[in-house]
């Protein structure tokens, strides 16, 4: 597996910042799960020492947002110690041990809407990367 040391900036297509590592180099190994496969693909294409910009459509990046991934639940289905607030992330475990992370999208009375889509699903993004070193 290839390892990289790089600087990056991830924004929505409109320029709104999502994440960046511009002051401290980011290190990762391809396939270690720190970057999504679409961003890993951009890194593999990039040339060492050059700042490169990748404009990715929603389909190329994190996919579309699906209504099936949005669930309405009763507030009593959540752990009592959980602070149910808008935009809070929450992890759910299935009986088979898989885990899914969702974001609280709406609260109306005792009904809580949880969105399990990737936070960037449905968004075109801009990924800027400067590879400092391929290790």
CA distances from 97 to 59, 89, 132 (A): 29, 19, 38
Q: What is the mean pLDDT of the chain?
A: 93
pLDDT in tens, 19-47: 999 999 999 999 998 999 999 999 999 99
What domains can you pick out in the chain, each with its CATH number?
3-63+122-134 (3.10.50.40), 67-115 (2.40.10.330)
Report the distance separating Cα 29 and Cα 2, nearest Å.
6
pTM of the model: 0.78
């Amino acid at each position: 597996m290839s390892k990289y040391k790089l600087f990056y900036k991830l924004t929505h297509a409109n320029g709104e910042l999502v994440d960046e590592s511009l002051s401290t180099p980011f290190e990762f190994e391809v396939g270690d799960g720190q970057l999504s496969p679409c961003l890993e693909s951009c890194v593999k294409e990039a040339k060492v020492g050059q700042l490169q910009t990748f404009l990715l459509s929603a389909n190329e990046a994190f996919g579309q947002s699906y209504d099936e991934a949005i669930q309405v639940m009763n507030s009593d289905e959540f752990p009592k110690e959980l602070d149910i607030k808008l935009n809070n992330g929450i992890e759910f475990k299935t009986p088979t041990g898989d885990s899914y992370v969702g974001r609280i999208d709406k609260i109306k009375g005792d009904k809580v809407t949880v969105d399990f889509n990737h936070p960037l699903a449905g968004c075109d993004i801009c990924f800027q990367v400067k590879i400092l070193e391929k290790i």
